[in-house]
Amino acid sequence: MSPVKAIGFDFFNTLITIDPGAMSEAFDRLFNSLQGNGISPEKDIFRKIYRESAMGFMAATKVDGRETHNRFWISAALGVLGLKIPPEDDRIARAVEDYFSAFYDYCRLIPGTKEMLANLKGKYRLGLLSNFTHAPAALRLLEMNGLNIFFDPILISGAIGYRKPHPLVFGRLVDDLAVDKEGILYVGDDPEPDIFGASQAGLRPVWMTYVHDHHVPISAGLGAGQSEHVIPTVPKISNWDEFLNLLPTL
């Protein structure tokens, strides 16, 4: 087996968590932003339709792997209510930014994350590959938490246009790391996009089970529930000390 030369990481529920309260607060900020800009649907009805819109767009991404974006969810939901406002409208753009501002207040580093990355920096090429619809928010979260300095490349699905487990995004990670895929580990928490996706792309997955093992509530839309039915040979880690101890054996 090829020696490990590079390591790719997922972001949400692998390096950081977002408290569940973020989602309710984010919707409130989105709604207040629309209202402040003269768009005033009935709140409870809009909340229901917005959720249905988001679920529909996210379901569509599973068909061809193309990433969606919150501005389309908002525009579609408003359209159902007879408010024909295109996704490119500045008022929707501001609502998206206000929505994600809640995430900045509710994020938490998984213990030991920065110490682990500092330990690996310089020994391996480190990259980040995350499914997240709004790339600017993910980049800001990385910077706020002091993680951006560890990764090159930083790849966010909202900027690439496709999301894991589509092979295109893993191929982009391999190309940007400039390492043979057999020498790349990929660490993530979500079985389908992270573990199966990396394995199918020829990378070597490591399953991070911290949020599952520590019963950390997972915000809706930031990762699927855990499954025990992952490839049996995939190594599992529950914290970063276990990962650092595992590395020399891989």
Average pLDDT of the chain is: 94
Number of Cβ within a 10 Å radius of residue 23: 19
pTM of the full predicted structure?
A: 0.94
Q: CA–CA separation, 72 vs 49, rounded Å? A: 13
The separation between CA 173 and the C-alpha centre of its own chain, rounded to angstroms, equals 15
In this structure, are residues 6 and 127 in contact, taking their beta carbons and an 8 Å threshold?
yes
pLDDT at 55 over 60: yes
Q: CA–CA separation, 108 vs 85, rounded Å? A: 35
Choose among 67, 50, 38, 241: nearest CA to 166: 67
Q: Could you give the 3-state DSSP secondary structure of residue 179?
A: coil
Distances, alpha carbon 212 to alpha carbons 17, 84, 166, 190, 217, in Å: 12, 42, 24, 10, 8
Q: What amino acid occupies position 189?
A: D
pLDDT tens digits for 224-236? 555 555 677 899 9
Q: CA–CA separation, 197 vs 155, rounded Å? A: 15
pLDDT value for 227: 53
Region 232-243: what's the mean pLDDT?
Answer: 94
pLDDT tens digits for 151-194? 999 999 999 999 999 999 999 999 999 999 999 999 999 999 99
pLDDT tens digits for 93-126? 999 999 999 999 999 999 999 999 999 999 999 9
Which of 82-91, 148-157, 188-197, 210-219 bottoms out in mean pLDDT, i.e. has the lowest? 210-219
In this structure, are residues 183 and 5 in contact, taking their beta carbons and an 8 Å threshold?
yes
Q: CA–CA separation, 116 vs 130, rounded Å? A: 19
Which helix (H) or strand (E) covers residue 210, if one does? Answer: helix 210-213
Region 64-90: what's the mean pLDDT?
Answer: 97
pLDDT at 238 over 80: yes
